[in-house]
Amino acid sequence: MSREAVMSAIRRSLGVTGRELPRRAAVDERIERAPKGVIPARGHGDAAQRLQVFKDMVLYSQATLAEVGSPADVPQAVAAFLRDHNLPSRLRSGDDPRLATLPWDKTVIELSSGRSSGDDPSAVSHALAGVAETGTLVLASGVDNPTTLNFLPDNHIVVVDTRDVVPDYETMWARVRRTFGKGTMPRTLNWITGPSRSADIEQTLLLGAHGPRRLHVIVVNG
């Protein structure tokens, strides 16, 4: 018997549908009042302290970082990263409107959108949020930010707004529940901390073992 069949039988025996507002409110309150686990204090503090911890942890994870004053400055920052690493001016992105509306035409970057097939040297994504605790970027899968962009290109550029930097994982999961409702949750949430790496072979650290060898984070202030 399927789970839904079992739950339906229980609801019928109780004479309820499961959609009654008082019952749903009681469940929400119970979840909210549930005891929290140990949460590291490192990512807490005011907004400026939280952002500084995030940036420090991004660099500690062996990613690189740039800051810009507004979203309109992102294309130039991306172009600078590609130029500094002698990379082709070709870039793959998803259909995220936050990226699509940026002034890419003021650069020489050739921007294409859609999933990566593995032959893109570089990709750009927009993070759902950043986590100060570990310098982690959280990306929701979908047409806006295809998961293939997180793993197949050799260079991954991720844009994150300062207002989306949260202190810890628990706060991030709470945000996910608020942002996406039942039936609209992304299929995958990728939590990315630094470039791909492995030390499985003779304990020698190798970047790019299972994904991008470079991760570049662009923090948008304001």
What is the C-alpha R_g of the chain?
A: 21
The overall average pLDDT reported for the chain is 88
With respect to residue 130, please indicate whether it lies within any of the assigned structural domains.
yes
pLDDT of residue 76: 98
16 domain-assigned: no
pLDDT of the residue at 52: 96
- Cα distances from 73 to residues 41, 70, 104, 175, in angstroms, run 32, 6, 10, 27
Dist CA 12 CA 151 (whole Å): 47
Please report whether residue 3 resides in a domain.
Answer: no
DSSP assignment string, the chain: --HHHHHHHHHHHHT--S--HHHHHHHHHHHHTSPP----STT-SSHHHHHHHHHHHHHHTT-EEEEESSGGGHHHHHHHHHHHTT--SEEEE---HHHHTS-GGGSS-EEEES---S--SEEEEE-SEEETTTTEEEEE-SSSS-THHHHSSSEEEEEEEGGGEESSHHHHHHHHHHHS-TTT--S-EEEE-SS-EE-TTTT--EETSSS-SEEEEEEE--
Q: Which structural domain range is residue 112 located in? A: 42-220
Position 133 in a domain: yes
User: What pLDDT, on a 0 to 100 scale, did the predictor assign at position 182?
Assistant: 75
**32 Cβ contact list (under 8 Å, min separation 6):** none
Note whether residue 5 is domain-resident.
no
61-66 mean pLDDT: 95
Flag whether 24 is in a domain. no
The domain tally of the chain equals 1
Q: Encode pLDDT of 151-160 as tens digits.
A: 999 999 999 9
> Phi and psi dihedrals of 25, rounded to 5?
-65, -40
Distance between CA atoms of residues 152 and 162, nearest Å: 27
Report the alpha-carbon distance of residue 59 to residue 205 in Å, rounded: 17
Instruction: Answer yes or no: is 11 within a domain.
Output: no
Instruction: Say which CATH number the domain at 158 has.
Output: 3.40.50.10420
Q: Looking at the domain assignment, is residue 119 inside a domain? A: yes
Other Cβ atoms less than 10 A from the Cβ of 79: the count is 17
Predicted pLDDT at 9? 81
pLDDT tens digits, residue range 14-48? 777 777 787 778 877 887 787 877 788 788 889 99
pLDDT at site 208:
47
pLDDT for the residue numbered 197: 58
As a whole number of angstroms, the distance between CA 105 and CA 90 comes to 13
pLDDT tops 70 at residue 191: yes
If pLDDT is split at 50, 70 and 90, which confidence band does 4 have?
A: confident
- Count Cβ atoms below 10 Å from residue 203 Cβ, excluding itself: 6
pLDDT over 80 at 202, yes or no: no
pLDDT in tens, 118-171: 899 999 999 999 999 999 999 999 999 999 999 999 999 999 999 999 999 999
For 75-86, what is the mean pLDDT? 97
